[in-house]
Chain A
Amino acid sequence: MPDLKTSTKTPQSTAPYREITPEAIIFGILIGVVMNAAITYSGLKIGFTIGGSAIAAVLGWGVLRGILRKGTILENNIAQTVASSVNTSNSGVIFTLPVLFLLGIEMNPVWAIAATTAGAILGVAFIIPTRKQMIEFERLRFPTGTAVAAVLKSPGEGVQKAGILLAGIAVSMLVFFFTQAHILGLPTYGSFGIPGLTNEALDVGAMISSIGIPWPETFDFKWAIAPFAIGAGFITGRAGLVVLAGGILAYFVVTPFAYEWGWLPDGTSASNAASVARGAMNRPLGIGLLMGGAFVGLVHAIPSIKAAMGSMRKKPAAGEERDELPLKVLGIAVLLAFIVLFTAARATITDGSVGQALLIAGVGTAWMWFAGIVIAQCTGMTDWSPISGMALLTVMLCLLMTDNQVLPAVLIGAAVCVAITECADMMQDLKTGHLVGASPRKQQILELLAAVIGPAVCILVVTLLAARNTQEYGVPFGPGTDSPAPQADALKGVIDGIRGGDAPIPLFAMGGVMGALLSFSGLAGLGVLVGLSMYLPLMYLLPYGLGCLIQMRLTKSKGAAWTESMGVPFAAGLIVGEGLLGILFAGIQVLGG
């Protein structure tokens, strides 16, 4: 039993229970804006972003409870909901909009902000009606949401569990520190002189080769030094193990055969076969699998969604609060956001008709709904969200509808990407809220309002950075600058491919058929999981799979209750620790220029 005398110092109170407060909202906005700017900057440098919920939850304890001396668990939950809502749009923006700078296309920031803000509102409004089905009925794990709940609940979990959480954070920070210690002028893993060990990964194949045992170069066996991936795998458990199967299919079946049979472009070496095969074959097949699997999953979930919607429509009993924002309010939000999106599309199409603007805004909006559900499912099942894959598909669709006009296609793509990141974030936050007993409706209202802040912040950072780079290097982003924008550069390759008539549409279609069949097998989300794992780099799948295996082993030997009460806090610590250090390094990079 937890020892309350040692685990909480809050005096017993008869004052109203604090949930939504000005302090929580102001703190959430401030920390969200700072994280958004820092992560946008670092994301343009390194190509990936960091989620902000866990960081906001940890800082929330320090500020609301430590400094202001009055934060409650639910007030801190509101603070992290607001902060992550403001922060989360950065990946949607930096994976898409910088491609316009790379292609030398002028962008009016006003339309970019308008389109992405509309996307943020649409994302939140579209995903709210699925909360009951995904969180209460399907009980998807949402590993980050579960980890954040562990942080929020830590004051009441007793000394032992709080200690386990802190131990997880410490281990994670220690392991992750040496991946980026060069920022502080300190040695990193790469400088240790261990064969196969680089700053970001341990190449087990190279390590084995270095002791004289032959290892085929086409068998990519790099393990990312990413404690968060082990933590996410642990929280997901057995259900996440399929992810390993998809990774094995892509990297240990398709890649070696494609290389040996000469299917890769001439000049591809054995050591870069995995990366070439991923770009040319595994990624498009994976995206197709993901979409086909998600479509069948959605069709299967219709009865469950109907039942969830039915309970949304029920009138609450006297004195009882509604769980969700009413459908009418969501409908108005969707309509207003759609008008903004249409106006942005109309303003950016050259010689385009109203009908064409309506078409891309309409298809973009419908796509947001479907892609948002796909992303929320992926995040709920594994914690991974294939945002860049969705960006690619969206831009491809919009290019086809606008006779290859890049500006409106990328703007709609950016809006969709922001929408789906908000979908994933909203569901993670609602999962956290469910675990700590928060009011979903209050979280939804604040997420909807706070979501409009984020896009403007990251577009401002992107614009300022582009101006600085242009002045300093002569080009805004890309190779040759301090901000290579790797994801946008990859999107540029795809746009070039589509405009040159070389889009991998047949592979998307074949993957779609395979994904649909897998999801039709009766194993929930099979197509989505296999597709996701073919799409992701193997080096992150391996530690994730290891986390799943450790959880299964512990459940077998120690029991499910022990794993849940002792293992999950440690796994949560692994996720939180890496996030904390990641944002710290991002901040140092910003300050250091």
Chain B
Amino acid sequence: MKFTIQVNEGPYQHQSADTAYHFAKAALDKGHEIFRIFFYHDGVNNGTRLTTPPQDDRNIVNRWSELAREHDIDMVLCVAAAQRRGIVDDGEAERNGKDATNIAPGFRISGLGQLIEGGIESDRTIVFGD
């Protein structure tokens, strides 16, 4: 089955970032396909490489990046949500005159159309959040 996953909550603040990850991993392990993981609302904070959790805790951001690398998953941060919350890639830094970037490997910033497309192209769209 082909899934699109939407993550609406930030890492560490809310369990949905963890649950979405575990769901994605379990689906892949079962041989399912993930068309896209779309991060919205505070969920875009899953995609900043500047997080530094305590050493004895899970590293949620790195975990996503590794999942994307291992399984070649398309992970998209909503551009409007990312701009509000200061998640920046090279293109956004240039467009908006920012002096730094913080996007983590494996993520890209794009529009909400990517979420709708995921809903159209996938067999199931699963939303994680409140």
Q: Do the two shown chains form a genuine complex with each other?
A: no
Task: Report which B residues bind A (CB closer than 8 A).
Answer: none
